[in-house]
């Protein structure tokens, strides 16, 4: 893998729309170089016999069962609303119709 140049970092910063000073560009050359070297080391691993995974430990879903339970009625839920319309909270429009 070729070394990362200052122009490469400036190009990446432009693509990301990040304005970096000259000092920041110089610092980022080294930091991004270390990251690229680390990724290259990971890619060197002989992984033909290793199954791809999204997480190093098995994950389990810890959500509760979806069961119907008693909840607030419409009147109680809207009792503190400053404005309501058609049994819903009424809020100012923030987006245009189109």
What pLDDT does residue 98 have?
66
Q: What's CA 30's distance to the chain center, in Å? A: 25
Using 50, 70 and 90 to split pLDDT, how confident is the model at 74?
very high
Using 50, 70 and 90 to split pLDDT, how confident is the model at 73?
very high
3-class DSSP state of 44? coil
Helix, strand, coil percentages (3-state) for the chain, rounded to 5, are 40, 5, 60
Distance CA 25, CA 34 (A): 14
Give yes or no for residue 1 having a pLDDT over 60.
no
3-class DSSP state of 95? coil
Distance CA 72, CA 51 (A): 48
Give yes or no for residue 2 having a pLDDT over 70.
no
Q: What is the mean pLDDT of residues 50-56?
A: 81
Give yes or no for residue 66 having a pLDDT over 90.
no
Q: Strands (DSSP E) along 1-98, which ranges?
A: 84-85, 88-89
Closest CA to 4 of 48, 46, 35, 43: 35
The domains found in the chain, sorted by start residue, are: 1-44 (1.10.20.60)
25-48 confidence digits (pLDDT tens): 999 999 999 999 998 888 888 677
């Amino acid at each position: 893998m070729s070394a990362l140049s200052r122009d490469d970092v400036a190009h990446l910063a432009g693509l990301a729309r990040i304005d970096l000073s000259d000092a920041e560009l110089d610092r980022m050359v080294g930091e991004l170089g270390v990251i690229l070297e680390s990724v290259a080391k990971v890619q060197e691993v002989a992984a033909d016999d290793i199954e791809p995974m999204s997480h190093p430990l098995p994950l389990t879903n810890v959500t509760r069962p979806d069961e119907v339970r008693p909840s607030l009625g419409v009147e109680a839920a809207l009792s503190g609303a400053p404005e309501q319309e058609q049994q819903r909270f009424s809020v100012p429009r923030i987006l245009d119709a189109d």
